[in-house]
Amino acid sequence: MPCEVFFEKWSRNPMTKPRIEKVTVNICTGKSGEPLEKASKILEQLTGQKPILRPARKTIKDFGIRRGEPIAAVVTLRKQKAVEFLTKAFSAIGNKLPASAFDEDGNFAFGIKEHIEIPGVRYDPELGVVGMNVCATLSKPGYRVKVKKRARSQVGSKHRVTPEEAMCFIREAYGVEVVKGGPA
């Protein structure tokens, strides 16, 4: 379906236009201690928020990981912070995103191999270089009724974000080229 159809639909009814609900940035070091502390500092510098440490779900002896040991740092960004970070992250990957990065609900995820590729970030020899995963969740206004605690209700299938809609939204809002095929 061409993007013009979506643009016309969004102009007629603004409640059907997708928006960025949240952006989750994850750095997994695979071990606790100093590498995780460095990753947490880097994540805090990039996002301006204090990261939450995530524990390992199971023990893997070959990698030296014990269940419950913190091995990753995660930050969830919302509203304007999410939009600003996403703009920087897209420029780090060359404003190109593979179509395979989108799931059936219109959410998308991509990886950044080195955090110093993000514009405005300088290399700090004390912290080193880490990669990260960026996951963006899209929704339409009113979708919250499905996930809220009180007076929860169902959302119709026409009010869900499709992958095609998400691709057109990202193209229009951020100028990102969606490339057909696998990872770029």
82-115 residue pLDDT tens: 999 999 889 888 888 888 888 888 899 999 888 8
Grade residue 63 by pLDDT with cuts at 50, 70 and 90.
Answer: confident
Residue 32 tokens, joined: 């606790």
38-61 residue pLDDT tens: 888 888 888 889 999 888 888 888
Contact between 102 and 168 under an 8 Å Cβ cutoff? The reply is no
141-150 residue pLDDT tens: 877 767 778 8
Q: Which residues of 152-174 are buried (b: 16+ CB within 10 A; e: fewer)?
A: eeeeeeebbbbbbbbbbbbeeeb
pLDDT of residue 182: 58
pLDDT of residue 50: 92
Q: What is the DSSP string of the chain?
A: --HHHHHHHHHH-GGGS-EEEEEEEEEE-SS-SHHHHHHHHHHHHHHSSPPEEEE-SS-BGGGTB-TT-EEEEEEEE-HHHHHHHHHHHHHHTTTEEEGGGB-TTS-EEEEES-GGGSTT----TTT----EEEEEEEE-TTGGGGT-SSS-----GGGSPPHHHHHHHHHHHH-PEEESSS--
The mean of the pLDDT values for the chain is: 85
pTM of the full structure? 0.83
Average pLDDT over residues 2-29: 87
Contact between 163 and 104 under an 8 Å Cβ cutoff? The reply is yes
Please determine, for residue 136, whether its predicted confidence score (pLDDT) is greater than 90.
yes
Task: Using the structure block, give the residue that is written with the tokens 């009180």.
Answer: 150
Residue 183 tokens, joined: 């990872």
Q: Which CATH fold would you assign to the domain 3-179?
A: 50s Ribosomal Protein L5; Chain: A, (3.30.1440)
